[in-house]
């Protein structure tokens, strides 16, 4: 593979309505769309650190993208896909988002060249559909077939969250489950008390109830409740996954490829989780359809059966390309070569 050019397009897209978490409010999503051109194919990727969650800054990401762009300009020889991925990994040590975006673009082009969808290129034994969870918002009504709803917990008075879950459970039926995402907003005492109040409700798991580095307390909380405990912000790399396993701090891994790094890192984290009987959920980081498509193909390649966090496109006031329609609670993985992008509107261009 000879990479003829690499272009980086910064974007900033407002949310349709502000998204509130325990600690902050998101009004827009910013990042970079990557276009990589070989002699015959064009690959796309997205690099978009999420403020408050990612350990890197937008400048860290931009610097790594620019550094790889220089490598492309200086390297006009044919390299294998694996060699290019090795360059990316060595350059993007400080930016998991840049690594994920560049690897996506390289693998998009390579799978197109092979005439395979990205999921098929990654794994012969891949799923053709991936289940999704809903994300609660004002006026929320889940699509037919969605059996799990995620709720961002940002009420100071937890009784409001209890009433909301009770109300939704009554509306959606006894088989519907809920994931409560606390974004590290509780202390151990609050977490134990709140989990006790939730024991009788259909809770699938509590996501990041305690601050990311409080692994000992997360392990203690697991002993004090029957509700599964998921980690999100605590999970930023394979090394962090190993620490979580060692501390016995989680029942569920919520893996954000934009946060945890490249495709090989996600693969290693999933294999580690399977070895220790930890459930895995793959989810977007509220990015555009480019990043979500990459996460969809990754989830399919790993045959993830848990409902994944891929139905977030409605949060953005506009998008750069289309994401497959969700039907009966599942999204079908595109079978076209690569990511399956037929048309894209690049930021700052008339495309």
Residue 167 CB partners (closer than 8 Å, separation 6+): none
Q: How many Å apart are CA 152 and CA 140, to the nearest integer?
A: 13
- Three-state SS string across 216-282, please? HHHHHHHHHCCCCEEECCCCCCHHHHHHHHHHCCCCEEEECHHHHCCHHHHHHHHHHHHHCCCEEEE
Beta bridge partners of 34: 8, 45
Helix (H, G, I), strand (E, B) or coil at 183: coil
Two tokens, residue 164 = 């909301």
Q: 307 Cβ partners below 8 Å, 6+ apart?
A: 131, 132, 133, 146, 147, 148, 281, 329
Check the CA dihedral 180-182-184-188 and report its sign: negative
Q: Annotated catalytic sites, by residue?
A: 152, 256
């Amino acid at each position: 593979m000879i990479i003829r050019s690499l272009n980086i397009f910064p974007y900033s897209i407002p949310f349709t309505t502000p998204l509130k978490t325990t600690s902050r409010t998101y009004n827009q999503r910013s990042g970079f769309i990557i276009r990589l051109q070989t002699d015959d194919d064009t690959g796309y990727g997205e690099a978009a650190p999420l403020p408050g969650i990612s350990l890197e800054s937008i400048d860290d990401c931009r610097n790594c993208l620019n550094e790889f762009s220089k490598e492309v300009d200086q390297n006009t020889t044919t390299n294998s896909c694996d060699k290019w991925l090795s360059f990316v990994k060595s350059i993007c040590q400080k930016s998991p988002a840049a690594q994920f975006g560049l690897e996506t673009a390289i693998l998009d082009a390579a799978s197109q060249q092979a005439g395979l969808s990205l999921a098929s290129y990654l794994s012969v034994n891949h799923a053709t559909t991936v289940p999704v969870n809903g994300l609660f918002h004002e006026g929320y009504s889940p699509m037919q077939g969605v059996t799990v709803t995620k709720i961002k917990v940002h009420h100071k008075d937890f009784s409001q969250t209890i009433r909301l879950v009770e109300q939704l459970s009554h509306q959606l039926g006894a088989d519907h489950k809920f994931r409560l995402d606390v974004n590290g907003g509780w202390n151990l005492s609050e977490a134990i008390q709140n989990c006790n109040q939730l024991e009788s409700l259909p809770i699938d798991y509590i996501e990041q109830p305690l601050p990311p580095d409080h692994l000992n307390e997360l392990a203690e909380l697991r002993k004090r409740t029957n509700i599964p405990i998921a980690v999100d912000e605590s999970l930023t790399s394979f090394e962090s996954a190993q620490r979580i396993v060692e501390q016995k701090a989680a029942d569920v891994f919520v893996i954000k490829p934009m946060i945890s790094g490249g495709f090989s890192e996600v693969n290693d984290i999933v294999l580690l989780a399977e070895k220790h009987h930890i459930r895995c959920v793959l989810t977007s980081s509220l990015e555009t359809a480019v990043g979500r498509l990459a996460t969809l193909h990754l989830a399919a390649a790993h045959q993830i059966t848990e409902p994944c966090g891929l139905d977030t496109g409605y949060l953005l006031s506009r998008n750069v390309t289309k994401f497959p329609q969700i039907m009966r609670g599942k999204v079908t993985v595109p079978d076209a070569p690569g990511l399956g992008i037929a048309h894209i509107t690049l930021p700052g261009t008339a495309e």
